[in-house]
Structure 1
Amino acid sequence: MDMARQRAREAGGGSARQRLTARDWADAALTAIGEGGLAAVAVEPLAARLGTTKGSFYWHFANREALIEAALERWEEIGTEAVITEVEVEPDPVGRLRRLLRRASDGAAEDPLEVSLLATAGQPRVAAALARVTERRIDYVASLFAELGFTEDEARRRALLAYTAYLGHTQLGHAVPQSLPAGAARERYLDGVIDTLARPA
């Protein structure tokens, strides 16, 4: 069940319309983007998915573009900031790198949203969000390599390598999933990526 439908169901029956928030609409838009790209963000189908009317949409947003902007901000929040917060509980930087790559790879395998956003990078709003997210993610990974003693330039280079490995893994996972290892072999593969990148020059 997608995030939007789950929230509407939890709101319960006829009261769902009153309880829907801008975040519910943003989550529904993200689900739609993952399923069909930006073209899938249409008010009436989203209202049906949420079990509400277009009036609820216009209570929260002036237009479709405002919803798309809110959805992209929500993606930044749950796809980057929340993940960083989650991995920060690990005290060891190599442990954080392992946990981050596993968490990011698992999320990308389960949800086509990231691949869908990359495919619509020509849209200015999406391009801007991708630029912000990419910079934030690479900066964070570079800080972990810096903790391991690498120079600023080398930490940045390794962070970029790690991020391109993640993106390649994500694209293959959706386009040619049989090309990637599964089960225990997948865990060894992901650990090997980090072991290689964390190894001193």
Structure 2
Amino acid sequence: MADEKTRRRLSAQDWARAALEAIGEGGLAAVAVEPIAARLGATKGSFYWHFGNRDALVAASLDLWEREHTEAVVERAEAEPDARAKLRRLFTDVTVGTTRTAGNRIEVALLATASHPLVAPAMARITERRIAYVTRLYEELGVPAERARRQALLAFTTWLGHTQLVHATPDVLPDDDTSGYLDFVLDEVVTPEGLGGAAAP
């Protein structure tokens, strides 16, 4: 009876979120049914109510990662009035809002297992989604399509390098709140000067 109560209480998303947290703490290898069940105060029976196997749980956690760390970020940026403001909001969110949190740890952990057969297609899809969105914003600023794609790749790798530094050697980075470093990065990424004048009419 206790197991039936657990099954009603916990959703598949609860399990996916716990798995994603485990990835952030210990990498993909940390996604194991019994430890996650213990984390949730559940039983293995509750797990099998929602998922056929561990791979299905990993896939669900990757779907959750995509929704919360890509689609939700894009949605917040889209609330801004123009492409320049969207770029500024986007890069502020991903450098300040996520790199010192669990989001950073999850990104780094998934990058470390990017060749895994479950992670690789999700990583490829999500990376392309992110780069395509930034490319579109540069095009809206008047940047020609080919250059916009290159600029989006540069912006993406700038963020990715920042993410890795926060994880591996955070003392290398200045304090964003006092140094003006974030403003410098945003100016390089967003303003016409940072685009080499390409966004000028």
- Same fold, TM exceeding 0.5? yes
Task: Check whether the contact 1:33–1:113 (CA below 8 A) recurs between aligned residues.
Answer: yes
Q: Counterpart in 2 of 1:113?
A: 106
Q: d(CA) in 2 for partners of 1:135 and 1:75?
A: 15
Measured against aligned partners, the alpha-carbon deviations of 1:34-88 in whole angstroms (never above 9, x if no partner) come to 1001110010110111111111100000000010011111111111011100110
Q: Counterpart in 2 of 1:84?
A: 74
Q: Counterpart in 1 of 2:178?
A: 184
Task: Check whether the contact 1:145–1:198 (CA below 8 A) recurs between aligned residues.
Answer: no
Tell whether 2:146 aligns with 1:160: no
Stretches of structure 2 lacking an aligned partner (at least 5 in a row)? none
Task: Check whether the contact 1:102–1:190 (CA below 8 A) recurs between aligned residues.
Answer: no
Match of 1:52 among 42, 47, 52: 42
Task: Check whether the contact 2:136–2:148 (CA below 8 A) recurs between aligned residues.
Answer: yes
Distance 1:197 1:57, change over 3 A: farther
Q: CA deviation at 1:17?
A: 4.6
Distance 1:108 1:164, change over 3 A: same
Measured against aligned partners, the alpha-carbon deviations of 1:70-126 in whole angstroms (never above 9, x if no partner) come to 111111111101110011010121111111011112213212100000011121111
Q: d(CA) in 1 for partners of 2:45 and 2:123?
A: 31
Q: Counterpart in 1 of 2:117?
A: 124
Residue identity opposite 1:132 in structure 2:
R
Match of 2:128 among 119, 130, 135: 135
Task: Check whether the contact 1:162–1:197 (CA below 8 A) recurs between aligned residues.
Answer: no
Q: Counterpart in 2 of 1:102?
A: 92
Residue identity opposite 1:192 in structure 2:
D
Tell whether 2:194 aligns with 1:200: no
Stretches of structure 1 lacking an aligned partner (at least 5 in a row)? 1-13
Residue identity opposite 2:24 in structure 1:
G
Matches within 5 A, 1:39-78: 39-78=29-68
Residue identity opposite 2:39 in structure 1:
R
Q: d(CA) in 2 for partners of 1:142 and 1:197?
A: 15
Task: Check whether the contact 2:73–2:90 (CA below 8 A) recurs between aligned residues.
Answer: yes
Deviates more, 1:185-194 or 1:60-69: 185-194
User: Normalized per residue, which structure has more helix?
Assistant: 1
% identical aligned pairs: 54
Between the two proteins, the alignment pairs up a number of residues equal to 188
Residue identity opposite 1:187 in structure 2:
L
Q: Counterpart in 2 of 1:6?
A: none
Q: TM-score, normalised by structure 1?
A: 0.88
Matches within 5 A, 1:12-51: 17-51=7-41
Q: CA deviation at 1:187?
A: 2.8
